[in-house]
Structure 1
Amino acid sequence: MSFDFHTNWLSLLFLVIIFSFLLFRLYRATSPSLTAQKRWLLSILRILALTSIFLVVASSIFRFTFKQNLTPTLTVLIDNSSSMNFTDQEGSRKKVLESILASGVLKKFPTNANLVYYSFSDTLVKYNPSDKLNLEGKSTSIGYALAYLKNEVKEKNIVGALVLSDGGDNFGPDLVKVSAELDFPIYTVGIGSQVFPQDVAIEEIVYDEIVYKDNPTPIEVSIISHSFANQRISVEIREGKNLSARQEIQLSGSGQKQKLVLYLTPKEEGLRRYNLSLPHSPGELNYKNNQRSFSLKVLKSRVKVLAFTNNLSWEFTFLKRFLESQKNLECSFVVYGMKQKPLTKEFPRSEKELEQYDLLISVNSTVDFFRGKEERFSTWVLKDGKSILMLIGPEAHVLARINSNLKFFPGQLSADKAGFTNFQLQLTPEGKFNPITNLASSESENLKIWSSLPPFLGIAQVESVHSDAKVLTAYSVLSGEEDLPGVIIKNFPSGGKVMTTLAYPFWRWDFLQWGIGYNNESYQTFWGNSMRWLTAPEEKEKLFVKTDKLIYRSGEKINFQAQIYDESFEKILGAEIQVKTGLRLENKNQAVSDLILIEDEPGNYKGELKATQPGRYFYEANIKKDGKLLGTPKGEFVVEEFSLEDQSLTLNKKLLTQIAEVSGGKYYGPGDLESLSKDLKLEKKILEKKKTIQLWNHPLLLIFFILFISLEWFIRKKNQLP
């Protein structure tokens, strides 16, 4: 340890000398007379007290430096996920893992270094080598494990991380990026076979979450098979025990995706749950990926739509053509011309006429159309619980004058004229997973489509977006500047919804595509998704507690969201929400966990837990405000047996090799670990810590000053000095 002291030495030394001289003269002769020792003691106490004051005045600082020799440490990270229980062509992964841990390679590790063990699946925990591994984790994130390790070992001399895994990494941060940012190398040991086992698996299900009653609904299924070439199997969809759809497929056995489409026809409205299954083939090593669950929200077969405009344009013409092509929509159209004279029938004059419709669509309507009707439109959404779609055009800056009267609008329009030309919208994080903006079956394909669509010619600007609204697409103007929203949606507690498009025109997605060898599929899909979302009924609840999905894979995170409203449908802040979850068993209910939801934004509450055991779950939220119980909303969700660990059953040697190389480490096979001790650089490291104490504002100086002055005063009084 070392230290140094910084102050204004000349001033301090000068003051100490001057005051020492004055104090010596003060105590040279006293009445009554004191011994020399007492005079010196009183002088020293006064000097020390005054020195404390001088240290403050001189802004004095103490700096301490501590140095510590750190022993080299190798961390051993053991994959504890369920895929490590798998047996493939290389044998049991569990036995290979146990043999490595019991081998002489680790037991003969140099005595001048430490071994620290951890296990991981979705997170990192300390592990005792004498304990038994359960290998039950339902998901794997090597990235999270390494990130946690980096934070935990900041003050240790880590010479490397030895990762024993099959390379499964099915959620969490970018593993390669995390590995490249580490301060130590990663040495990976691949456990398992790169040869695909005999298996038939459901790879993907693509379907519209919102469908219509009595309409055939396509369910696109992707199947992958390894072995079983030319074998015919039946693919079935059941609702409970009832068969809803069946189709045969001849397996290729090549490991390539095979797609087929099954059609089911929902006969009842509401939320319907289905199970998709494949038969078990003899010799399959994994049956868990042979079935999947999904759910559909079924709407009534015919939805009444009223589309209107007082600014006739190609936008209206193309959207009208789309609406008329939809069998589930019963459409009416209102068009006003010059001086607000109707060219077709008039907009409904009475509430009774208007209430027959389920959805209103405004296409580039100007302020003249809305003026005088603001309260009717606001009531339609906020009280009646209906939906409205607003396509905003170049006249948005004029519409901004009555923006405050359109209480349902999800933001504040800017008085500035619309700007920009020839730009494309980008999906926001919210938009990447929203059914409205989903134009393809996979995320990568969806992003590709959005980046290749014909550009827009303008965008209406907003000054702000409501905090509980969602921006699905945006235009990035310049780096560092705020993005301009392109599509905004918002749900209301009444059950009403609003969707606003600020970029225009959309008709180019239809017209221009034909000229370059494409079609209007993206245009049709976007507006089809929008119609389904807008017309899907929402429950009118003042106490809203829901999960983000109805069906989860084993190992996925279950996200709870809550919004609490009073009688006036104003958000309640500062509520206490405890969610109890349980598993429905055959003869009883089993409590699983308690979760406290946190208010992350005013009036919005969130929480999450891990989906582990498959089954049908229930939950009940206990909501209190100032100790008063507001209610106990309930709900359900399903965790299917298929887990993230069942997605890939082979050793991912490529990934393990890559993270070893980018971090400066090395990849080993289970039999190659003998060279590990030679590859490690077991260098000692000196940890240096510095601590600075600013004496000028340290409370200890005040304590010393009071102590020295008090002692001096006590001695003076005891010796009858004034």
Structure 2
Amino acid sequence: MNNHFTLNFQSQNIVLMILLTALALLVSWWSYRNVGGISCAKRYLLIGLRTLGIAVIGFLLLEPLFTVFGHKTTGDKLGVLVDLSSSMNIVESGVSRWSRAESAFAKAMPSNIQTRYFGFSDTLVDLKRMPDSSAYDGQATNLSLGLGISLIEANDDIGALLILTDGANNIGEDPIKISETLDIPVYSLVVGSTISRKDIFISKINYQPIGYINTETSVQVEFGATGFAGQFAQLEIRDGKKTLASKRVSLPADGALASEEFMLNMPEEGVKLLEASITAFPDESYKDNNSRHFRIKFLKDKIRILLMSSHLDWEFSFLKRALESDPHIEVETALGDRQGNFDAAFLPMPPDGWVNRDLVIVINTGAGALGSHINEMNAAIKARTGFLYIAGADSRATQVNSWKEILPIDIDNRFNQIPGEYWPQPLAVPRAKAILDIEGMDWDRQPPLRYLLAPVMLKPSSWTVMDVSGLKGERWPAVVAGNYGQGKTMAMLGYPWWNRQFKQTSDPLEIKRIRQFWGNLVRWLVTRDDLEKFNVSTDKAVYKLGEPVTFTATVFDDNYNLVSGARVALMITDSAGMKRELQLAPEQPGRYIGEYGTPSAGSYAFRAAAVSGKDTLGIKQGTFVVETASLEMENPSANYALMRQISEITGGRSYMVEDFNQFPQNLKLKLRKAEVFSEHRPLNAIYVLMLAIVLFSAEWAIRKFSQLP
């Protein structure tokens, strides 16, 4: 390292300090010029000591800063990345993959190459030396961790990478893209066989996470095999030890997949953790992937809806038809008499009354039309029943105010029906996604509403689902949602909606989307889950061994505004009762996220709490499952092509055991020169102050020895 330095003074009074120092030196000379009784040499010695002492103090008062510049050579070490995934334990021809790699490495590496060791699987770790056999237990391989630029930047002494691996990569970012960002060569020693082992496996299960009791629910199981083409196996769906469905299937050819559909019919509500399994043959090399788990929440077979309108019109007829097209919805209808009222003859009442209705929809109807039934209906909605009000031609202030207690809006004397053309637009709020997230729906292509009830004020617990552009460009609510007691309520403040169905009669996909909108809206109104102010969940219900588990949470206040700055903590308990705490980090306002890593196989339960200040905003519980089938063993064949491509991109080379002895002579470390500097402040150095003290002490000692005053 060739160094040079600069000297700068930090004092704001440099000229003054120089003048004072010069004056002190002049006084020093003046005080000794006529002193008698000492030799001329001793006089000059005393003047010199005092002058040097004063000069040192003056120098320090100028606050000097020495900056030393130099150049440092880095990149003189080889970074050795060791694949610690469990596939490196596979034994081939009597020798494990890791043992074969370690032996080749030890034989070929000369002692004059400096090395740094790292291990990787689903995490990256520092190693002091080559690991022993117990370290190869990772259940997934994230090759991008080892290639990540953060490793290089944190270890600038590394001039090249050598990866000891079988080339398997099953999680994380694309290692090819990561390698394109590197400026050092990557070499690899790849071990393992590319010959497929005999195996039968379930590759995927396609299913809807929501099903209905007493209604067939489709589950498609995709499976494959290697080395068993044409043989037969039993494919089953089980609930615990109970077999729900079973089929005898023919195993496909190597590299091909087959699928079978099962129709499940569950008799009771609840969340079911089900298992799909296929026969395990004695000569299979890996049997953990012969079964997969999945979870379905089974709901009541029918959503019971009472659809009411003061008189028969297009809105009533259209909505009745749209709802009846959904096999999971049971619609009862009620039309008012000539005066638009409902008495016993016009209002169907089930034996269990209002309480077990899931949703009441009223179209262009006031609460007074229900007569004595209004109190029963209010009580049912407050307990659990959903309520939807759809505006119509008679929706004036009197009618809307009759539902004031239930509706999510308030009105004042400015309220009116305002004619125009209004295109409702969905709002990008998380709670609206369950209603409005419809693939292919183009809201701008839908016919406009011709009338809108405005202006309205939202109640504190309410929120806008869709809005429109007002007469002066302002945004007016068109669909507003809220809650009344334990039930959800919604007001659709414009009309008509029925013309959307008729406009799309020639396009079956558009008709399907319109019906999906109403189906989503109905299900949101009858579902209670999202009334919680605190929600937390894993990104999946069932994981393969080695897949990372991610938690996300949302936190709302009493007015359903997203809460920032909350503390969200989880306590996660595994099958053995061991507990581990996880703190979620804020990702965006009201949303929190955290990685649990890649836990071992088993069932897990978690308990989460959200706290803001001294207030507990909510507590939630949940479960997830990690299967014994691992990502790592799903496809354990060595991937020579991937490692060869990475080496070619970075200017390195990929080796097999047979030619790895050429590695030392082909290794090219990428040496880099970096400019470095360091700053030194003598004012902070004790030895500079000691020098001034020594100089003044020496002067004092000579004066005393010479008996000078």
Distance 1:313 1:111 in 2: 91
Are 1:75 and 1:115, in contact at CA under 8 Å, matched by a contact in 2? yes
Q: 1:174 to 1:132 in 2, by over 3 A?
A: same
Q: 1:540 to 1:15 in 2, by over 3 A?
A: closer
Distance 1:187 1:42 in 2: 66
Distance 1:319 1:674 in 2: 77
2:377 to 325, 331, 353: 353
Is 2:175 the partner of 1:171?
A: no
User: Which position in structure 2 is the counterpart of 1:394?
Assistant: 422
Are 2:538 and 2:549, in contact at CA under 8 Å, matched by a contact in 1? yes
User: Which position in structure 2 is the counterpart of 1:416?
Assistant: none
Aligned residue for 1:656, secondary structure, equals: helix
Q: Which residue identity lines up with residue 325 of structure 2 in the other structure?
A: S
Once the two structures are superposed, residues 59-104 of structure 1 have per-residue CA deviations (whole angstroms, 9 ceiling, x without a partner) of x7543224444463222222221233345xx646x6233122112x
User: Which position in structure 2 is the counterpart of 1:538?
Assistant: 529
Moved more, 265-274 or 185-194: 185-194
Q: 1:212 to 1:230 in 2, by over 3 A?
A: same
User: Which position in structure 1 is the counterpart of 2:80?
Assistant: 76
Distance 1:376 1:710 in 2: 91
Is 2:651 the partner of 1:664?
A: yes
Q: 1:506 to 1:609 in 2, by over 3 A?
A: farther
Distance 1:169 1:365 in 2: 60
User: Which position in structure 2 is the counterpart of 1:233?
Assistant: 233
TM-score (norm 2): 0.69
Q: Which residue identity lines up with residue 141 of structure 2 in the other structure?
A: T
Once the two structures are superposed, residues 392-446 of structure 1 have per-residue CA deviations (whole angstroms, 9 ceiling, x without a partner) of x93669x9xxxxxxxxx986xxxxxxxxxxxxxxxx9x99xx988998xxxxxxx
1:595 to 567, 575, 582: 582
Aligned residue for 1:214, secondary structure, equals: coil
Structure 2 residue runs without a partner (length 5+): 36-42, 342-360, 369-373, 411-420, 450-460, 467-474, 705-709
Aligned residue for 2:80, secondary structure, equals: strand
User: Which position in structure 2 is the counterpart of 1:265?
Assistant: 265
Distance 1:715 1:494 in 2: 93
Q: Which residue identity lines up with residue 100 of structure 1 in the other structure?
A: A
Are 2:218 and 2:262, in contact at CA under 8 Å, matched by a contact in 1? yes
Distance 2:482 2:551 in 1: 17
User: Which position in structure 2 is the counterpart of 1:323?
Assistant: 323
CA RMSD of aligned residues (A): 5.8
Q: 1:53 to 1:245 in 2, by over 3 A?
A: same
Q: Which residue identity lines up with residue 541 of structure 2 in the other structure?
A: L
Is 2:157 the partner of 1:156?
A: yes
2:634 to 624, 628, 647: 647
Once the two structures are superposed, residues 263-314 of structure 1 have per-residue CA deviations (whole angstroms, 9 ceiling, x without a partner) of 111211121221111111343222111111111112122224578999x999
Are 1:49 and 1:704, in contact at CA under 8 Å, matched by a contact in 2? no
Distance 1:714 1:490 in 2: 90
For residues 175-574 of structure 1, the aligned pairs below 5 Å read: 175-305=175-305, 321-331=321-331, 346=365, 350=374, 352-353=376-377, 355=380, 358-359=385-386, 372=401, 376-378=406-408, 394=422, 456-457=444-445, 535-538=526-529, 546-561=537-552
Deviation at 1:19, TM superposition (A): 4.2
Is 2:35 the partner of 1:5?
A: no
For residues 46-85 of structure 1, the aligned pairs below 5 Å read: 46-55=54-63, 62-70=66-74, 72-85=76-89
Distance 1:566 1:96 in 2: 55
2:676 to 661, 683, 689: 689
Deviation at 1:148, TM superposition (A): 6.8
Are 2:408 and 2:462, in contact at CA under 8 Å, matched by a contact in 1? no
Aligned residue for 2:24, secondary structure, equals: helix
Identical counterparts, % of pairs: 25
Distance 1:492 1:91 in 2: 68
Q: 1:664 to 1:634 in 2, by over 3 A?
A: same
Distance 2:500 2:79 in 1: 55
Distance 1:702 1:335 in 2: 98
Are 1:244 and 1:264, in contact at CA under 8 Å, matched by a contact in 2? yes
Once the two structures are superposed, residues 343-377 of structure 1 have per-residue CA deviations (whole angstroms, 9 ceiling, x without a partner) of 96626564643645854567899997997567634
Aligned residue for 2:96, secondary structure, equals: helix
1:675 to 662, 665, 673: 662
Distance 2:491 2:258 in 1: 38
Are 2:570 and 2:607, in contact at CA under 8 Å, matched by a contact in 1? yes
- Structure 1 or 2, whichever has the larger Rg, is 2
Distance 2:423 2:299 in 1: 35
Are 1:489 and 1:500, in contact at CA under 8 Å, matched by a contact in 2? yes
For residues 11-26 of structure 1, the aligned pairs below 5 Å read: 18-26=19-27
Q: Which residue identity lines up with residue 538 of structure 1 in the other structure?
A: D
User: Which position in structure 2 is the counterpart of 1:636?
Assistant: 623
TM-score (norm 1): 0.68
Are 2:548 and 2:597, in contact at CA under 8 Å, matched by a contact in 1? yes
Aligned residue for 1:645, secondary structure, equals: coil
Aligned residue for 1:672, secondary structure, equals: helix
Distance 1:648 1:218 in 2: 28
Distance 1:299 1:348 in 2: 31
Q: 1:149 to 1:576 in 2, by over 3 A?
A: closer
Deviation at 1:217, TM superposition (A): 0.6
Once the two structures are superposed, residues 320-355 of structure 1 have per-residue CA deviations (whole angstroms, 9 ceiling, x without a partner) of 65432112123478999xxx9999662656464364
